[in-house]
Amino acid sequence: MISLAGRDILHSWSKFVLTGIGLGLLIGVTLTMAGVYRGMVDDARALLNNSGADLWVVQQDTQGPYAESSSLRDDAVRSVLGLPGVARAANVTYLTMQVRRTSVSGVAPAGSGDDDVRAMVVGFEPGQPGEPGYLVAGRQITRSHYEAVADVRTGFTLGERIRIRRHDYTVVGLTRRMVSSGGDPMVFIPLKDAQEAQFLKDNDAIVNERARTAANPSLNRPGVPGLLEAIQASQANNRNVNAILVQVQPGIDAEAVAEPVRRWKHLEAFTREQMEEILVAKLIATSARQIGMFLVILAIVSAAIVAFIIYTMTLGKIREIAVLKLIGTRNRTIAGMILQQALGLGLIGFVVGKVAATFWAPIFPKYVLLEPGDAVRGLVAVVVICALASTLAIRVALKVDPAAAIGG
């Protein structure tokens, strides 16, 4: 027995293949949109994973450091380290800013004069929680100042000099998938430099501030030499950090450590679950819903288009079906032909879509996460939609009058 569907496809194979590819690109877009949504959520999770913390200690009554701004003194970490159950704790600062590229160790940067990259500058203590867990090139920071590890997404290369505020930093290592909740790549620099970058003002502001202090008669008294200098020195430094990352000892519940921090240290502490809740449910909620909404609409539109394509393809063959009926082909054979064609089209579309999405996903500026689960769900959805659409087409095909083959 010959395959009617195969014969029909062979008859108009270019039309079939082109339709399949077109369908595939549409499915690819839908899969990509799902990937964009997943990537967004994953960015938020990556931020938590990369910090390597079980507990975030932040300023009281804030939901920092990611969702709100939080600042606490950098010696608070010592009292946290003394709490029972704490294995390691370290200060960390976060600052999203434009990082400028200066030059590649003497050589002018290729094709770029003074471009800047949006990045989240992380101040961390080497060897402590918060340091990048793995590198894809180069080494970890060894000097206590003026070295940086950057995410490859920043486009920086090893040995490149980048400028953060007033200091130049050498990129000594590259890492991957270290992003802020907004998807900005991270640049890791030593904590002391980061504190300075975050809280120190530019030179003009410092000079103006000095002049302002000097003009204040109560701070610049003639009879008290040294007072003005002391005040100005105290204005120029800042010993704040944004959060303390805490790792608890194995087998100890993070909440058991968080509770005394909240109660006795007068700081806020979040466990990993609470932090994820803050990030996913609060911080990226609106933008994630925005993408999610778009994904839903795109999925519906794609489903409709797939259904219409299969329906119109069958309608286009109505005369041939009438001839088949005229020569006495059984209804089941005709229905099978249409169903097979629809499923074939769907499968080709899915494969093309998946391949296309995989190839263009890395080009996106932000992370696109194509989850295998999404692909499986997509495959099932495509097959179901094709089957449903083909039933519509089959109904029309079965109702066709064999006489139409002759009369037209």
Partner 1 sequence: MKASSIRSRRLALIGLGILLVAAMTYVVMRSGPLAPTRVTVVQAAEGQLTPQLFGIGTVEARRSYLIGPTTAGRVRTVVVDVGDTVKAGQPLAEMDPVDLDERTAALDASVARAGSAMAAAEAQRRDALARRELAAVNARRYVELGRQNFISTGAVEARLQEQASADALVTAAEANLAAARQDQQRLAAERAGLRQQRANVRLLAPADGVVTSRDAEPGSTVVAGQAVLRVIEPSSLWVKVRLDQARSGGLAVGLPAQIVLRSNPGRPLPGKVARVEALSDSVTEERVAQIGFDQVPAGLSVGELAEVTLSLPPTAKAVLLPSAAIKRRQAQTGVWVIDAGTLRFAPVRIGQASLDGQVQVLNGVQPGTTVVVHSEKEIVEHSRIAVVDALAGRRP
> What is the contact surface with partner 1 in residues (CB under 8 A)?
6, 9-11, 13, 17, 49, 52, 75, 87-88, 127, 133-140, 142-146, 152, 157-159, 172-174, 176-177, 192, 222-223, 225, 239, 247, 249-250, 348, 351-352, 354-355, 358, 370-372, 375
Instruction: Work out whether strand 72-73 and strand 160-164 pair parallel, antiparallel, or are unpaired.
Output: unpaired
Cα–Cα distance measured from residue 152 to residue 361, given in angstroms and rounded to the nearest whole number: 16
Shortest gap between Cβ of 135 and partner 1 (angstroms)?
A: 4
- Nearer residue to partner 1 within complex by CB, 13 or 308: 13
Q: How far apart are CA 55 and CA 66, in angstroms?
A: 13
Please state the closest distance from residue 396 (CB atom) to partner 1, in A: 26
Q: Between 127 and 316, whose beta carbon lies closer to partner 1?
A: 127
Amino acid identity for residue 331 in this structure? N
For partner 1, give the closer residue by CB, 40 or 394.
40
Q: Which of residues 11 and 319 has its CB atom nearest to partner 1 in the complex?
A: 11
To the nearest whole angstrom, how small is the minimum distance from the Cβ of residue 74 to partner 1? 9
Cα separation values, 299 from 2, 42, 146, 303, 384, Å: 36, 21, 49, 6, 13
Q: How far apart are the first and last CA of the chain?
A: 29
Query: CA–CA separation, 253 vs 264, rounded Å?
Result: 18
**Least distance in angstroms from the C-beta of 18 to partner 1:** 11
Could you tell me the smallest distance in angstroms from the CB atom of residue 175 to partner 1?
9
In the bound complex, what is the minimum distance in angstroms from residue 406's beta carbon to partner 1? 22
What's the Cα-to-Cα distance from 17 to each of 8, 246, 344, 345, 354, rounded to whole Å?
12, 57, 10, 8, 16
**What tokens were used for 130?**
């918060």
**Residue closer to partner 1, measured from CB, 125 or 268:** 125
DSSP state of 84: T
Q: Which residue lies nearer to partner 1 by CB, 126 or 336?
A: 126
